[in-house]
Amino acid sequence: TSFGFRSVPEDLKESLVKNVFDSVAAKYDLMNDATSFGVHRLWKDTFVSSLRPGRKGPMKCIDVAGGTGDIALRILDYAKDNHYDRETTVEVVDINAQMLKEGYRRFKRTMYHNTPQISFHEANAQNLGSEKFKDNTYDLYTIAFGIRNCTSIPDVLKEAYRVLKPGATFACLEFSRVNNPLLSTLYDQYSFSVIPVLGTVLAGDSASYQYLVESIRKFPPQPEFAQMIRDAGFVTGKDIDGGAWTDLWGGIASI
């Protein structure tokens, strides 16, 4: 099967991405559930529990491209439920004010609202700004389904490295490459025919979802991305024994 795309010029990508998430912010969570049959929730649970936040005491976390706060909420809940930790903090950072607003609204219904445990900040992952986000600050940097939307992955990784303390953890959850040919064909059919239709029906916006599908195809496969992470200065496990990444659902997503 082949698909034709007019790809987006890099200089337009940032404003386009901003528009995409502006137009879907309010329906973002619904669309996530619909397009993934709720599986994104399981992946996010697996992601956060694999990091075991709070196990060595309270952590200072930054969740970049954090959107409506799905990962932040799981980090705080995990630390509370497993380690009676109510001191871990998460700073949610996103380039899009609408997504952050939606997140803030959501947290109003939680016990974390109006506590130092959660805060929302508008900034670009590629340049967080060293005034506000200082060097060697965080114990954990998370980015879930966000890095593929950024114009320069190396810039994001460089910033992550800068703000993390030595010995701290960078963790990314992202759509990745499916290796099984049968699963890969089914997944292609699903992405290119079903997702844009769901986008139209549920969010009134097929173009944005078409873009999301395209961005997944363009994202580097697991070994290439692992190498980019190492190039930024991080140490990973080996590629072969699963130390550098863990595939979820045959590589549809990967940690």
Annotated binding site: 68, 94, 124-125
Specify the residue, 75 or 178, whose C-beta has the smaller distance to ligand SAM.
75
DSSP tag of 55: B
67 touches ligand SAM by CB under 6 A: yes
Question: Binding to ligand SAM (CB under 6 A): which residues in 113-142?
Answer: 124-126
Q: How far is the CB of 221 from ligand SAM (least distance, A)?
A: 19
209 touches ligand SAM by CB under 6 A: no
User: What is the amino acid identity at position 25?
Assistant: A
Residue numbers in the known binding site for S-adenosyl-L-methionine are 68, 94, 124-125
Output the six-digit token pair for 90.
Answer: 């998460």
Output the six-digit token pair for 64.
Answer: 């970049």
Distance (Å, whole) CA 117 – CA 142: 16
Output the six-digit token pair for 42.
Answer: 């399981």
Specify the residue, 145 or 245, whose C-beta has the smaller distance to ligand SAM.
145
254 touches ligand SAM by CB under 6 A: no
**Binding ligand SAM by CB under 6 A: which of 54, 146, 199, 251?**
146
**What is the distance of C-alpha 32 from the center of its chain?**
13
Output the six-digit token pair for 220.
Answer: 């580097």
Maximum CA extent, the chain: 52
Q: How far is the CB of 13 from ligand SAM (least distance, A)?
A: 9
β-bridge pairing 253-254 and 164-175: antiparallel
17 touches ligand SAM by CB under 6 A: yes
Distance (Å, whole) CA 151 – CA 41: 26
Phi, psi of 250 (to 5 degrees): 65, 20
Q: How far is the CB of 181 from ligand SAM (least distance, A)?
A: 27
66 touches ligand SAM by CB under 6 A: yes
Interface with ligand SAM (CB under 6 A): 17, 21, 65-67, 70-71, 94-96, 99, 124-126, 144-146, 149-150
